[in-house]
Every structure is written in structure tokens, then in C-alpha cells.
Amino acid sequence: MSPSAVILEAKSRLARARSVTVLTGAGISADSGIPTFRGADGLWRNFRAEDLATPEAFARDPRLVWEWYNWRRELIATKQPNAAHRALVELEGRHDRFLLITQNVDGLHRAAGSNKLLEIHGNIWKVRCTICKQVAENREVPIALPPHCRACHGLVRPHIVWFGEALEEESLDRSMGAVASCDVMLIIGTSGVVNPAASFAGIAKAAGAFVIEINLDDQPQSAMVDLMIGGRAAETVPLLL
């Protein structure tokens, strides 16, 4: 099928859908200037996300982990949503039954105006106290290290789901429900290597959804999707409206 035929098919499927579920990953924010995790510019001081985004790394060296997050906060603070984020806001407005599930913690979907949104890995602008568990918004760039809870003065951590940690129960339930009940699922800019998001394409397919993927190149889940649209999210997602 020619690229334009693929876009037309995707556009037609979305226009006819009674319910749409979207999953996004770092690739949708790449066009806003935020490096992806597993792309060429994904490392910081030669550390991978897997080395730092873990409870063990934080227990071992909270300052190092916070230095990494300060680097990411500083980088993200100056970035804006792109045409792909905005197109998903428009898509949300066209479908009563719609849910956008994002693995991204950069807050760009919310900044673009998405409301029916689940940030299943948390949000980089939120911190959680390791003692009293209170969650607070903190937009200091950089955050003064080591950061302490305003309520109990305990050490705070990023309110982000780290490797080895479970998603919040409600997030998981709502995500699984939306993935298993949609007519069309859009998967945009994710390598599909981190669970549970990596399982969503298979669950949607098994439940009878038409699954469309947008990515620069083929990923593990590409073999099972119905339509694979190769290209940059900021250029291709707006074409689906």
C-alpha cells in the first residue's frame, strides 16, 4: 500500500471509530526537542534510564538520581508541545469515547490541552515524599538538592514509576479497559519494550481493534499492527485528522 493510501486508510478508520485509544512514547516528544530514551542522544553522563530510574539507584545515591532529573527538568522546561500533541487534542474532541495513555513524563500532552489523559509513568513536575508519601507539584529548575518535603521535611523523590515498580492500580485498570474496548488503537513513538505498555498492541488486537502504529522505523510490535505509518509524529499525526 502506498504511503498516501496508508494515511487515507488510517484516516478513514479513525473517522468511523466509535472509540479510540492512543498510546504514546518518547518519540512523540522528539519533535519538540526532547531526546528519546533509546535513541542516539538518550544517555546522560553515559548512564541509561535503566541505570538511574530505579529505587535501588535512588537508595544508593539520591543526589546522582536527582542530578539526572534536574538535567531532564532543565531540558524539558523550555520545550513546547508539537503538531502531534495538538492533533491528539483535536482527535479527543472528535470522539466521546477516547483515552490518551502516555508513557511520557514531560507533561507536553497536558500542556497541549489533552484532558482524557493518563500519565501512566507519572510526571516529572511532581515529587513524592519518601516518608509521608505526600505528592506535590514542584517546578523549580533546578530543584535544590537534596529536596525535602514541605510537610514533614522527609526526602522527596520524583513522582515517576521507576523500573521494577508497579503502575498505580487505577492507571493500570483504566488503561487496560480502554485498550481492550476500543475500535481503533493508535500507537505513536514507542519502542514497545517496557511493560505493561508493550502488551497494549496485542491486547487491543485480541479484542478486535484496528491497530495503527506511527514510528520512524519498525519496532517489536510492528509485526502485529494492522497499519504501520513510517515517519515523524509531528508530520504524520496531523495527516490523520
Cβ of 10: how many Cβ atoms within 10 Å? 24
State which residue, 149 or 200, has the beta carbon closest to ligand APR: 200
Instruction: Tell whether residue 213 is a contact of ligand APR (CB under 6 A).
Output: no
Q: Cα–Cα–Cα angle for 92, 94, 98, nearest 5°?
A: 40
Instruction: Tell me which residues in 55-94 interact with ligand APR (CB under 6 A).
Output: none
Interaction between residue 217 and ligand APR (CB under 6 A): yes
Separation of first and last alpha carbons in the chain: 20
Instruction: Kindly calculate the radius of gyration of the chain based on its CA atoms and give it in whole angstroms.
Output: 18
Choose, from 95, 121, 153, 159, the residue flagged as catalytic: 121
Q: Measured between alpha carbons, how far is 142 from 21 in angstroms, rounded to an integer?
A: 35
Distance CA 62, CA 151 (A): 20
175 binds ligand APR (CB under 6 A): no
Q: Applying CB under 6 A, does 121 fall inside the site for ligand APR?
A: yes
Kind and range of the H or E run holding 23: strand 19-24
- Side chain identity at residue 42, one-letter code: G
Stretch of 68-76, 123-131, 140-148, 210-218 lying at the interface with ligand APR (CB under 6 A) = 210-218
Instruction: Name the residue nearer to ligand APR (CB basis): 183 or 221.
Output: 221
* Nearest Cα to Cα of residue 77 among 119, 113, 106, 38: 106
DSSP bridge partners of 85: none
148 annotated active-site:
no
Instruction: Verify binding: residue 219, ligand APR, rule CB under 6 A.
Output: yes
The residue at minimum Cβ distance from ligand APR is: 27
Q: Which of 136, 216, 224, 239 binds ligand APR (CB under 6 A)?
A: 216
The smaller minimum CB distance to ligand APR, of residues 151 and 241, is found at 241
Q: Binding residue for ligand APR (CB under 6 A) from 155, 172, 176, 194?
A: 194
Which residues are known to be catalytic? Answer: 121
